Structure 1
Amino acid sequence: MSNVGPLGRSLPTNGSLTATPVVSVVIPFFNKHLEFEHALSFNAGYLAKPSVEVVLVLDEPFSWEHVRRLIARYATIRWHVLVHDEMHRWRNPAPVINVGLRRARGRFVLVVSPETVFLGDVPEIFLATHSALSQERLSAYGNPDVALFGMVQFLRFGEQPEERRSVQKPYGSIFFERQHGLRLHGYNERFVEWGGDDDEFRRRLTLSDVAVVGCPQARLAHFETEQDYLLRRSRDESRILRQKYAVNCIHDWNIDQPEFGALECRTLVDWAECDDLRPVGSLISL
């Protein structure tokens, strides 16, 4: 087990493993081994805190062997790992995100992708910004409800964020109070293809009187292969159409989806089954 991050810095320890987390980082996962390992080498220091848990939901069973080794390497992170055992082609992650939303224990939920690299302490930045904006809105409007999204750069492996000033896009993350996500019945599981689900969720948050605000201080990067870069570019047009549909055709935050997050998943690792004398790594047989 290593407690050292990518730049030789010591990672923080978990402190009391019985403390309730404040932020649940929900990560839907489908066959992103190398990307997740790369992102985790940067993010581990920001995730290995008593205030944070990572809810990793595998939408296929074959990634577990690789993920298990990563968990053992970063055992000071509070891992909650679930898996859906049925094989299928790639699909929209809405059902998997909803499983994570249901199982999360934190007051706040941060949804990111496996390949998301934090350019700074993104969970803490979101938390501090949310606190400040909530107070401002409470004083000004009597309504403290806020959700936040960060700004993401798309980079190829080997590039540094400072090397290429690629366009920052308002995607790649959303930070909200879990109670608001539950009230909205989560992400819309009617989306099956790529794109539109995050726009629709933001739209319904807005319609439910939650202010959805950009947080430019929360900077993220998605590192991708040349093949993924070309695939993403080819999807841009269809994504734009789905974005417009999601924003323009939703007129009510309350969708008819009472069984959201019901995708059958089993628990592989749960930090809450540990105690101060038995860290997460001890639950994993290698």
Structure 2
Amino acid sequence: MHFPDYHPILTNFNTSIILPFYKKLVDFKRILPLNAKYFQRNGLEVIIVMDDPEGESNLMLLIKEYPLINWLIIINRELHRWRNPAKAINVGIRASTKDYIMVCSPESMFHTDAIFRLRYITENYKHSFAIGKVAFGSYESAFNGSLNAFLSYGSVMVNKQYLEQVTGYSENFEEWGGEDDNLRAKLEYIGLQKILVNDAILIHYEDKSSGYTDRSKKSKALPLGTKRKAFIPDMDDFQNLNWGTDFSEIIYDYRKNI
């Protein structure tokens, strides 16, 4: 992709990166050194939404090693089992201060400069949302570009005003799956164009090497009702007035800790 007139974006990305976080400290600690150079740029804020209090003190120590990144940390102190990340993502969206929102996983590595590539699309195609690509790799295997098929998931960027218009991610999904496709369907419903950005590539790293296969099995096993709701939103998905209010305690705010 050729990028004419890209300098204004590099001067001010005006983007909040939302990382939903449930017992991900070990993975995040391994990936952050690789991603830091992309995070510490003008006009970016990185919002970690901790959906459990485990690892709070160690996370605070970790972010202090990267003072050039604008961190905002929000924590949920209520203990619970793993749940769909939609509520945590919405908390991050609500707390964000930038005009554009990017959502991705804390254990995903930027194989290319996905932040810039997605932001370039949303800047030049105003009524759109941009989707990156993701592949799955293991920590034990060096990524060679052919470990698994690339999927058009793993990252999304859109102007915050459109997320507010559709009341964020639907919080009606409790288990794995459905929230990403539901959001896309809602954004398309209000007239936005979905743009798949093939060179905005993230690698989702895990201890095991079966990430692609595992997710394929999960997707096929989703109940029919969940699949239907994912692709055909109902009115409840557009009218969640309390979206993003599940928790709100901020334990670090770069605007107050400079």
Query: In the aligned structure 2, how far is the partner of 1:126 from the partner of 1:252?
Result: 29
Aligned to 1:148: 130
Aligned to 1:6: none
Deviation at 1:66, TM superposition (A): 2.2
Query: In the aligned structure 2, how far is the partner of 1:200 from the partner of 1:76?
Result: 35
SS at match of 2:182: helix
Aligned to 1:222: 204
Task: Supply the AA of the counterpart residue of 2:158.
Answer: F
The answer on 1:271 being equivalent to 2:254 is: yes
Instruction: Give the counterpart of 2:139 among 157, 172, 175.
Output: 157
Instruction: Give the counterpart of 1:212 among 184, 194, 198.
Output: 194
Task: Supply the AA of the counterpart residue of 2:178.
Answer: G
SS at match of 2:205: strand
Aligned to 2:60: 68
1:171-217 alpha-carbon deviations (Å, 9 max, x no partner): 11110000100111000001100000000000000000011110111
Using structure 2 for the length normalisation, give the TM-score.
Answer: 0.88
Instruction: Give the counterpart of 2:241 among 236, 258, 265.
Output: 258
Aligned to 1:54: 46
Q: Which structure 2 segments of 5+ residues have no match?
A: 1-10
1:63-116 alpha-carbon deviations (Å, 9 max, x no partner): 212211210111210000010100000000111100100000111000011111
The answer on 1:237 being equivalent to 2:237 is: no
- Distance verdict in 2 for CA 1:241–1:217, change over 3 Å: farther
Deviation at 1:242, TM superposition (A): 6.7
1:29-60 alpha-carbon deviations (Å, 9 max, x no partner): 00012211122111100001121100111000
Query: In the aligned structure 2, how far is the partner of 1:208 from the partner of 1:253?
Result: 15
What is the number of equivalent residue pairs in this alignment? 247
Q: Which moved more, 1:100-109 or 1:250-259?
A: 250-259
Deviation at 1:243, TM superposition (A): 6.8
Using structure 1 for the length normalisation, give the TM-score.
Answer: 0.80
Query: In the aligned structure 1, how far is the partner of 2:145 from the partner of 2:199?
Result: 19
Aligned to 2:6: none
Query: In the aligned structure 2, how far is the partner of 1:269 from the partner of 1:130?
Result: 29
Q: Which moved more, 1:189-198 or 1:66-75?
A: 66-75
Q: Which structure 1 segments of 5+ residues have no match?
A: 1-18, 135-143, 280-286
The percent of aligned pairs where both chains have the same amino acid is 27
Q: Which moved more, 1:144-153 or 1:62-71?
A: 62-71
1:118-146 alpha-carbon deviations (Å, 9 max, x no partner): 112221111112223x1xxxxxxxxx311
| RMSD, aligned α-carbons | 2.2
Larger Rg: 1 or 2? 1
Aligned to 2:101: 109
